[in-house]
Amino acid sequence: MKEGGEGFVRADQIDLKSIDEQLERHMNKALTMERNKRKEGDDDFATIDIAVSPRAIKNTTFRKQKQDWEIDPSKLIIKSVIARGTFGTVHRGVYDGQDVAVKLLDWGEEGQRTEAEISSLRTAFIQEVAVWHKLDHPNVTKFIGATMGSSELQVQTENGLISMPSNICCVVVEYLPGGALKSYLIKNRRRKLAFKVVIQLALDLARGLSYLHSQKIVHRDVKTENMLLDKSRTVKIADFGVARVEASNPNDMTGETGTLGYMAPEVLNGKPYNRKCDVYSFGICLWEIYCCDMPYPDLSFSEVTTAVVRQNLRPEIPRCCPSSLANVMKRCWDVNPEKRPEMDEVVSLLEANDTSKGGGMIPLDQQQGCFCFRKFKGP
């Protein structure tokens, strides 16, 4: 599917029949695999309270018990593509008169994805809905609803409204026009941010994470790309694709997930981890927000892993950074997860900062500038 101009998708570029056929084949395969997986006693779904009933397939439409998070597809209009993510495409849309972002699950061309990939995509999709639909906080992108397959979805094209193939899965969330926090930091990489703005952004993120942890959710992919800004620059946590309900036994949570530069050493090492991996990633985000820079720009993936795990490498904190903030960063990225603070403590530490006297990182190219970094490291 390609983007059209003026917020439209070109109708002639949507091959509805073949998408429908692909979906039908993929859905059946994925459901068979899921059924087999359940028979084998896989308890992956133990924490997911979505009723996915493989029995309920009729005429290729994926039917299930109506969930409280299900949208009314007739009220949703899908518009142009905003971005392409791991799942598929993210579109702008309108739901019941409200501006929304619509994440559509893309099953890929026939033969493009293996059955295992399709199954894991679908599991991730279900997982994202399972986690997200329960959340309600000003610093978490508001979940509006989802559908796991509907014949009533419509896409707005240059030629009017066109029905989407049945079985399309989508998640509908509030539309956030400010873009990703990462892009905002990149925009300000030369000028840097006022201390007041640094604290505001950091507090938003810290409050959002503290809320998630209070709900026993570990985000597992905390990074500035996954944080979106609303029109008044409030940070909202987005992308719950790999978020999980925290396991009561830490040994139940292992596996590399997240994004390298933000990943805690225990995650990089494949060791058991808990919510403290989010605290580590928050520490890296805090550094990034203060510096408007990227951690480890000159290192390759493998160099980052080795250096973080074996040499305790962390981003270099500029000398102009107030100790109150530098200490939060250092505590958050402590190698020992138990020594890292809880997110609610981080919120209190950030709230204690006095921002009335100005401050903030001094751009390197100013005469009296900050020479903490040896050279400019633009993203």
Active site amino acids = 221
For residues 279 and 300, what is the distance between their CA atoms, to the nearest angstrom? Answer: 23
- Pick from 22, 119, 123, 141 the residue near ligand ATP by CB under 6 A: 141
Does residue 101 interact with ligand ATP by CB under 6 A? yes
Angle at 152 between CA 150 and CA 154, to 5 degrees: 115
Q: Give the residue with the Cβ less far from ligand ATP, 85 or 270.
A: 85
Q: Does 82 bind ligand ATP (CB under 6 A)?
A: yes
List, in order, residues 6 or more apart from 252 with CB less than 8 Å away: 272
In 186-306, which ranges are E strands? 217-218, 227-229, 235-237, 244-245
* 256 is a site residue for ligand ATP (CB under 6 A): no
Which residues in 220-249 contact ligand ATP (CB under 6 A)?
226, 228, 238-239, 241
Within 151-190, which residues bind ligand ATP (CB under 6 A)? 173-176, 180
Name the minimum Å distance from CB 42 to ligand ATP. 23
Amino acid occupying residue 351? E
Stretch that binds ligand ATP, among 82-90, 185-193, 327-335, 346-354 (CB under 6 A): 82-90
- For ligand ATP, which residue has the nearest CB? 85
Residues 6+ apart with CB under 8 A from 276: 264, 337, 338, 340
Residue 85 binding ligand ATP, by CB under 6 A = yes
Q: Are strands 170-174 and 143-147 parallel, antiparallel or unpaired?
A: antiparallel
- Enumerate residues 6+ apart whose C-beta is below 8 A from 375: none
Q: Of 42 and 136, which has the nearer Cβ to ligand ATP?
A: 136
Q: Which spans of this chain sit near ligand ATP (rule: CB under 6 A)?
A: 82-83, 85-87, 90, 101, 141, 173-176, 180, 226, 228, 238-239, 241
